A and B are shown apart, each in its own frame.
Chain A
Amino acid sequence: MKKTRLLKNLMLSLLIPCAVLLVLEAMALGKGLRLFANADSWKLFFRAVANVTLTTFALSINLDSGRFDFSLGAVSMLSATVAGTLAQQWNVGPWPMLAIAVAVAALLGLLHGGVYVLTRIPPIIVSLGMALFYEGCAFAFTGGKGVSLVTRLDIIGFSTIGHYILLTAVAVALIVLLFDYTRFGANYRALLSGQKIAVETGIHEIGNALGCYAVSGALMGVVGFISLANTGSQQMALNFGSIGVMFTAFLPMFIGGWIGRYINKRVGIMLGATSMALISLAFARFNTASSVQSIVSALLLVLFLIYLNNEFAILSRFRKKQDAK
């Protein structure tokens, strides 16, 4: 009985990524292409999995607790800018640069959390202010020129499939461990389901919130590093130009929430991100215009949300039809 349920849950968890893969592969075959035609396709796929998984974790950690965060893109940009500049000045390789990016991003997250808990301003408003502040910092730090590492072959050479898989696996393992198997995670879940009761039972909400912001920041540090190591440059953005990063995480977050009914939610998010990475790969293979990509992604998000928010009505109508037959 238990084995059957496990098998059923596993099958349902893999339903969306497998269905997406099958549909896209069929479309590719229809165009006389293969989705995974060469090493570059695999690289693009695993990079997208890493970026989207980490960004979705960073978004959902705080959003699940009702804390919306517009500053994710700015944290990623500023941490990559600082790490890239220091890597140039100190002539260090990719691993120390990654460590710097993660440390800087965690500190930026902590500062954001600190402003939030000290001022008690609604989190969405604080995140707007911090996004503007961090964008300004990055711009001032480089004089608006950004960072270029195109001559640093050791750092650009970091962009390999093996490294992407390693970073994704470590991030998923650490996040599962932290949020599902530690006291911090238990407190986080208690605050999530009943803030007032949790605080009255002695849970330290401020410490937990600061921890969440720091972890969320650290994840965006990895995203910033991956992006900088891949392209070799970091462009600057002002006036909320950095917030677009966050919008890629919505669909995988909702898909992850659905898959999370059958398997660990963080693994569900990774599977949601995998589905999105397949779609990104298909866009690249089909040479889809960026405007069409945006429209298709937005439509998929709306359609999935329509299903999620009307699931009961849709399923009961479906069952009625089956009963009538």
Chain B
Amino acid sequence: MGKQTIRERIPAFASILGLLALIAAYYIVGLIRDANVAYGLKAVVNQSVVVALVATGAVFIYTLGSFDISLGAATGVSALLGAMAYNATGSLPVMFLVCIGVAVAIGFINSSLASVFNLPIFVTTVAMMSVLSAFMLILIGWNGAGDTIKVKARDVRPLDNIPFKVAVLAAYIALCWFVFTLLPTGREAKFIGGNPVCAKLSGIDEKKLAIIASLISAIGIGLGAFLTIVYAPTLNKDTASSIGMDVIIAIVFGGMPVSGGPRSRILSAVVGAFSMGFLSQIMSMLNLGSGYGQMIKAAIFLLVVFIALGSQRGKLLTR
């Protein structure tokens, strides 16, 4: 093993360098445009924290080489049922427990279906996404209060502050980091993602790990659902709808390979989620318009992934 040159090391830090560059760009653009940088920073945290929570948990699923597209719909259903529980009981702890409980139940159904019936996880989650999105419509219909389910804003306002949200995120990251880094679960998940055949022959129970990964991810979904209600207490059919795709983008943006395996890292999700948050805020400050803003976002996303891939490109096309 020779010493790595700076050029060889760049890909490993591309995502973090990307985040630092975006933070710098955010301050520079804010200065040039004379924007309220502190207010924008609050918006970045509010936008990014839910994606970061869901994406951090999803790292376990992605590490296994699996893929879950139903995370956004699961967050939406958890939030709707949590809000309904709050309206019925007036208790924030009950709302919190319902958010977590519903997310765990959905995660368990998802992973059990895939494990027991040997279904391809991606297609199972596509089906689950349809079912959950439809269930959101049914829940809103049942509630009988128009197109929304509302929690009184003043009831959740005490929790709608940055320190609380950052504390929730930090606690969850610490839990995931502990499980992923210090317990055999993380090592086994990386092994399965890197070489499933070899992992199976070594006696690692793939089905059990898939269920554990879904359950850990479900806690992130439940926390994300809870903070969604706290931030935007008027929920509708589109609540959290974009989170499923945002999570994939965040994980890849954060430098983790979508195929999982040994290069998976818990912090990728947080780096990616905040990179996206800063990028959106920069686009908003530049006032480019939604279309051009999204085009630039897409180009930067592809550029960061391209740099992060580094020298891993082979002779054959990647599949």
Task: Answer whether A and B are interacting partners.
Answer: yes
List residues of A whose CB falls within 8 A of some B CB: 65-67, 115-117, 119-126, 128-130, 132-133, 135-141, 143-144, 195-196, 199, 205-206, 209, 238-240, 243, 247, 250, 290-295, 297-299, 301-302, 305-306, 309-310
Contact B245 A239 (CB under 8 A): yes
Q: How far is the CA of A293 from the CA of B131 in the complex (A)?
A: 9
Contact B319 A123 (CB under 8 A): yes
Contacts of A144 in B (CB 8 A): 289-291
Question: Taking the complex as formed, is B118 at the interface, i.e. its CB lies under 8 A from any CB of chain A?
Answer: yes
Stretch at the interface among B8-16, B18-26, B228-236, B305-313: B305-313
Question: Taking the complex as formed, is B127 at the interface, i.e. its CB lies under 8 A from any CB of chain A?
Answer: yes
Contact A305 B119 (CB under 8 A): yes
Q: How far is the CA of A209 from the CA of B113 in the complex (A)?
A: 34
Between A301, A302, A309, A310, the greatest number of chain B beta carbons within 10 A of the residue's beta carbon is seen for A302
State the Cβ distance, A187 to closest chain B Cβ, in Å.
Answer: 13
| Total number of residue pairs linking A and B with CB closer than 8 Å | 148
Q: Choose among A209, A290, A295, A297 the residue that contacts B317 (Cβ–Cβ < 8 A).
A: A209
- Interface SS majority for chain A: helix
Contact A290 B318 (CB under 8 A): no
Contact B117 A121 (CB under 8 A): no
State the Cβ distance, A142 to closest chain B Cβ, in Å.
Answer: 8
Contacts of B1 in A (CB 8 A): none
Contact A140 B302 (CB under 8 A): no
State the Cβ distance, B113 to closest chain A Cβ, in Å.
Answer: 7
Between B130, B138, B141, B296, the greatest number of chain A beta carbons within 10 A of the residue's beta carbon is seen for B130
Q: Choose among B128, B130, B257, B316 the residue that contacts A297 (Cβ–Cβ < 8 A).
A: B130
Q: Say whether, besides A119-B302, A128-B248, A309-B117, A247 and B130 are in contact (CB < 8 Å).
A: yes
Q: Say whether, besides A128-B249, A130-B298, A302-B119, A137 and B313 are in contact (CB < 8 Å).
A: no
Q: How far is the CA of A119 from the CA of B134 in the complex (A)?
A: 38
Q: Choose among B141, B248, B296, B319 the residue that contacts A65 (Cβ–Cβ < 8 A).
A: B319
Contacts of A196 in B (CB 8 A): 316
Q: How far is the CA of A205 from the CA of B124 in the complex (A)?
A: 31
Q: How far is the CA of A36 from the CA of B296 in the complex (A)?
A: 48
Between B118, B128, B249, B291, the greatest number of chain A beta carbons within 10 A of the residue's beta carbon is seen for B291
State the Cβ distance, B64 to closest chain A Cβ, in Å.
Answer: 16
Question: Taking the complex as formed, is B278 at the interface, i.e. its CB lies under 8 A from any CB of chain A?
Answer: no
Contact A294 B130 (CB under 8 A): yes
Contact B291 A138 (CB under 8 A): yes
